[in-house]
């Protein structure tokens, strides 16, 4: 299978490089927008010889990445055939792993979810057990949608810890015992001999929300508030991972009020130690509440309990006071608040807005929107799928797919 040769995450670094015009891939980039085009139009735009165009179009048709869409208006003689991108040509396995749950989906190349399953599973069970369960579910879902595994363009997977994106290996993840430096792509490739793309869970949430809702927004921050607090950063339209894949670590920035709450990281006054779900629940317990989990906290706030509402509003202010610095540094136009604790609703958002608008400069906040996630818990899945489609539909990825068919 020629596609095996491309099962190297390294190539994913080069999405933004201009394609060399000799590939079927660059022809595909012209068709990817969905507009039907004729062979003559493709020749005119690319400057490639008609014979070259015909050979490339034949490759794309054989791979089904492109399908005939009908005929253009004729200027006399037989009307020329038109072609366009066919998102159903391939499928994608998208996986979102949390600390205690897993979500697996099969999507098409436009990130439409075809089948989906969620189950409880502790990440602390280690990579072999967890990835084994994920693989079994994924194979079952692919069967369920009635597609052969050879239709698979790739697997995208988000992990709840820092990931070295080039190799797909977790790096010193604090809540993932047994996962440090584990070869996730290598392990999954035993079942799925396709490109495997691995990233941090908050990064894929940012990517998913961006692709699904804010595609025209160039600068966005997604904040996940759950048992931890983290952020995914889109700058200039691109997900930013930083030098070691550790970008977006909002949870261990010091809250600028000089507080000294000890944090699990060894420092004091970290945002996570003050405003995460467990931190807020802990403070409420000190006041006599019986609240253990994030979902109990959400329920309590939604029931309108005054003490819980106040605690969540204060958590919002603390998150906002740290986000204000991020707004000054990154000047985003949208901040999306997601994660299970975000389900408490407007009280949290109000606290966040209060601090951000009082602490950031007017130029950076005049057009800033601070909003709740609109992907209903699916941001991770959508982002994992987008990781794969961005890779598979790049010029390089398309050449690999057409080579595999040829």
Residue among 64, 67, 240, 296 that touches its own copies (CB under 8 A) = 240
CB atoms within 10 A of CB 302: 14
Residue 324 CB, nearest approach to its own copies (Å): 7
* Interaction pattern, residues 172-211, with its own copies; x per rule: CB under 8 A: x---------------------------------------
Residue 362 CB, nearest approach to its own copies (Å): 7
406 touching its own copies, by CB under 8 A: no
Q: What share of the chain is helix, strand, coil (3-state, %, to 5)?
A: 45, 20, 35
Q: Determine the distance from the C-alpha atom of residue 353 to the mean position of all C-alpha atoms in its chain, rounded to a whole number.
A: 25
Size of the site for its own copies (CB under 8 A): 68
Residue 314 contacts residue 348 (beta carbons within 8 Å): no
290 touching its own copies, by CB under 8 A: no
Bridge partner residues of 106 (DSSP): 93, 115
d(CA 71, CA 59): 20
Q: Segment near its own copies (CB under 8 A), from 62-70, 94-102, 118-126, 356-364?
A: 356-364
Residue 101 contacts residue 295 (beta carbons within 8 Å): no
* Residue 289: partners with Cβ closer than 8 Å, 6 or more residues away: 281, 300, 307, 308
Residue 364 CB, nearest approach to its own copies (Å): 5
382 touching its own copies, by CB under 8 A: no
90 touching its own copies, by CB under 8 A: no
10 touching its own copies, by CB under 8 A: no
Q: DSSP letters of 158-205? A: EESS-EETTTTEE-S-TT-TT-TT--HHHHHHTT--S-EEEEEHHHHH
CB atoms within 10 A of CB 130: 21
241 touching its own copies, by CB under 8 A: yes
Residue 11 in tokens: 């190539």
Q: Segment near its own copies (CB under 8 A), from 57-65, 149-157, 242-250, 292-300?
A: 242-250
Residue 84 CB, nearest approach to its own copies (Å): 19
Residue 165 CB, nearest approach to its own copies (Å): 11
Residue 401 in tokens: 């797919």
Residue 296 CB, nearest approach to its own copies (Å): 29
Task: Compute, in degrees rounded to 10, the torsion defined by CA atoms 205, 207, 210, 213.
Answer: -60
Considering only residues 139 to 178 of the shown chain, the ones binding its own copies according to CB under 8 A are 162, 171-172
304 touching its own copies, by CB under 8 A: no
CB atoms within 10 A of CB 258: 8
Q: Segment near its own copies (CB under 8 A), from 183-191, 251-259, 280-288, 377-385?
A: 251-259
Which residue's CB is nearer to its own copies, number 163 or number 196?
163
CB atoms within 10 A of CB 381: 26
Pick from 29, 16, 8, 11: nearest CA to 395: 29
Residues that bind its own copies (CB under 8 A): 16-22, 26, 29, 45-49, 52, 162, 171-172, 218-219, 231, 233, 235-236, 238, 240-250, 252-258, 265, 267, 269, 321-322, 324-326, 328-333, 358-364, 366-368, 395
């Amino acid at each position: 299978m020629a596609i095996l040769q491309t099962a190297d995450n390294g190539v994913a670094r080069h999405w933004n490089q201009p394609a060399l015009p000799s590939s079927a891939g660059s022809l595909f980039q012209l068709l990817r927008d969905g507009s039907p085009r004729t062979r003559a139009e493709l020749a005119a735009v690319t400057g490639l010889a008609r014979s070259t165009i015909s050979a490339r179009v034949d490759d794309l048709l054989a791979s089904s990445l492109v399908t005939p869409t009908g005929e253009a208006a004729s200027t006399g003689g037989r009307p020329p055939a038109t072609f366009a991108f066919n998102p159903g040509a391939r499928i994608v396995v998208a996986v979102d792993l949390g600390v205690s749950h897993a979500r697996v989906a099969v999507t098409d190349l436009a990130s439409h979810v075809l089948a989906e399953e969620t189950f409880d599973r502790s990440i602390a069970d280690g990579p072999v057990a967890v990835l084994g369960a994920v693989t079994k579910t994924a194979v079952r879902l692919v069967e369920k949608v009635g597609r052969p595994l050879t239709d698979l363009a790739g697997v995208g997977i988000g992990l709840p810890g820092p990931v070295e994106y080039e190799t797909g290996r977790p790096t010193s993840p604090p809540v993932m015992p047994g996962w440090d430096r584990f070869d996730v792509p290598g392990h999954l490739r035993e079942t799925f001999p396709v490109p495997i793309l691995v990233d941090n869970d908050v990064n894929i949430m940012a990517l998913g929300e961006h692709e699904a809702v804010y595609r025209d927004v160039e600068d966005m921050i997604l904040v996940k508030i759950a048992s931890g607090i983290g952020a995914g950063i889109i700058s200039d339209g691109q997900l930013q991972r930083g030098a070691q894949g550790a970008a977006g670590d909002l949870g261990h920035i010091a809250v600028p009020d000089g507080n000294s709450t000890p944090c699990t990281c060894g420092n004091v006054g970290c945002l996570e130690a003050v405003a995460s779900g467990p931190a807020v629940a802990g403070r409420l317990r000190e006041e006599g509440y019986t609240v253990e989990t994030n979902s109990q906290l959400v329920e309590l706030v939604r029931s309108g309990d005054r003490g819980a509402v106040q605690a969540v509003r204060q958590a919002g202010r603390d998150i906002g006071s740290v986000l204000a610095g991020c707004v000054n540094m990154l000047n985003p136009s949208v901040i999306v608040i997601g994660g299970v604790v975000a389900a408490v609703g407007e009280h949290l958002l109000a606290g966040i807005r209060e601090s951000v608008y009082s602490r950031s400069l007017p130029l950076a906040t005049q057009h800033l929107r601070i909003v709740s996630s609109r992907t209903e818990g699916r941001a991770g899945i959508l982002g994992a799928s987008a990781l794969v489609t961005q890779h598979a539909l790049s010029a390089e990825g398309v050449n690999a797919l057409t080579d595999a068919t040829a």
